[in-house]
Amino acid sequence: MSLQTAFCNYLGQQSTITDLLTNNGASDIFWVTVPEGKALPVIVVQKISGQAEHVQGGATTLADARLQVKCMSDNPGEAAAIADAVRLKCDGFQGTTIGPVGGTVAIVKMKLDDAGDGYDSPHDGSDVGTPDVTMDFQVWYRATVPSFS
């Protein structure tokens, strides 16, 4: 299972987060883009960067990634409340996340690295954009070592 799937699944299992979203569930958490016409508030997750750790002997099972979480709402206060709920469930998290179709990703460490308020420009030709709170989490996790045999 990919880190991306496991992370989105983990967020979707947290009622303190999903209770603040439009449909009160994981169906309001998206990878990279939000479907056109989707009601707010929502969460959008994106992998900004990532790499596997190496030693002289080659790759190790340790990898890290920067995941960006964007909490979007028509109301800036609501976006901030969702972001705070995400922060409280993710900053300092260690454990295993379980995906919807089996498999696990072992999280060694997750920490909030950066956060800020933003504003997405309108996509429909109007003058009304979308307030958001964006957070970057550094995630250290266990990955499968490539086999070259």
Q: Is the pTM of this model over 0.75?
A: yes
pLDDT digits (tens, 9 = 90+) for 80-113: 999 999 999 999 999 877 666 667 788 999 999 9
The residue extents of the domains of the chain are 3-142
Q: Are 97 and 10 in contact (CB under 8 A)?
A: yes
Nearest Cα neighbor of 135 from 88, 103, 102 is 88
| pLDDT band (50, 70, 90) for residue 70 | very high
Q: Class assignment of domain 3-142?
A: alpha beta
Per-residue pLDDT averaged across 102-129, rounded?
Answer: 85
Longest dimension (CA), the chain: 57
